[in-house]
Structure 1
């Protein structure tokens, strides 16, 4: 078991497991920036995954399939926007309804197109290619890890950089953050909150599309019912623990990917009788991580609210200067 944990195969499987969680985390992050708790990410990834798999098969093009997956993710996000902002429904309840709809819709689409309800293995998707950089990909361990990955691995890195720049270095990012921080204040200076939320949810849909496409067109070559497997919700948890910071969201997504990969690898070592128990490990670790994060956050806020103890005359003078007395 230890030999496997320190092997190149384990590191590669960690990246494979982390990427859909990372895209889900980015989707949650951009939604939260405009004040929307979006739990529809799970369903959006499912619809994107089945759409990408089927379209790529019938067009014989991974690029067209990927675009179809992105479009499906955007449509699901815009449905949430229309229901929550235009019709005034609760965004959380709407997200639950859309997740339920997505579960049934994916099975319905499979049955309508292929006549099966379980998976699309009979009509395999065209896989998104991997990029192997000459010489660099031959470096032991790090070669395949960094320079021999699927195309969407490099897209994820680009998304991390661009999302960080968007939120912190552009006017659009400032408008998005202002909308989420105080809607009325943003409106008072001429910012249209609904327009900013639509922008954010379009980006959210693109991230969901990337995550869904990775599952059915890169990780596997077909769609299977339930293949998202809670990764959308784990991505929401990764974003929460990352406190809305893109690189921290990426870090926690990778850590959850490590746990997921460890659970899969352990099944081969411990045997089939532990299969279902080990499948719960990523979700148990997510719950424990959120509990730990909440405890740390409460302690930090309590420390910030605690009055400063004056231990010397110098401290007293500093306090007087701060209060203007």
Structure 2
């Protein structure tokens, strides 16, 4: 019998008229993009403020300090949704504002290399660095690093492999360092930058930084022995930091577990109210076993978190409610 799952309360729910391909924080609320380029801007209660068609599939979107940047059709746009100035950014590309909005990171692939750029708020390139793309033509993404003058570059080529790089700005030049997280999700750093998490297909590894010493490993077979044995589920794509030294980690089947970083062990499993994990109908295609409808989550600095379920339903909850019960 499956153990009882903790239920996290929900503050608001919204079903969109389009898919929620990816989401970002935006001001006090959130922004959600569709596959086709439809942007929905939401307040902190998931009330729709505005919907804008950005003119085609959006490769990336970033918002910080009231500034917006997005990529459409090999062009990097800076301004406000629906208006702004653009510059060429060819191929597989990504953008991410520095936390203050006073600098903009961009990256694009050139086949066997990826160029990372630091730009002014007006999108003028000020510094660049190039890293190898050993897979060739990979997808690139820019992810959070706790230092305001650094960013994590993720190079992903599906089954061919993935790499994470730490790119830093010292005020005069950019440097790039290959991280010990090959074939993993984008590297997640500790708030003080002294360790990192590498989430792979069969394990979660904590590594000290910058000395690169493995501190602990949590194997998938220890999380779900049955799924590890029969392949009915696997680690998913959403590893999210929680307060007080915990993280949540999703699975391919839409399940959610909390992990205590002090012991690198699973504390419990939970679900969002109204979105239960249940046994799949054996007559349906797909893997057997318990399934949920969780897709991914977007945490906000204000303590709220927007999770996406069944591709078009948004759920608002408190990040602290994702923590396991005390005592």
- Structure (1 or 2) with the greater helix fraction: 1
* Larger strand percent: 2
Q: TM-score by structure 1 length?
A: 0.23
TM-score with structure 2 setting the length = 0.23
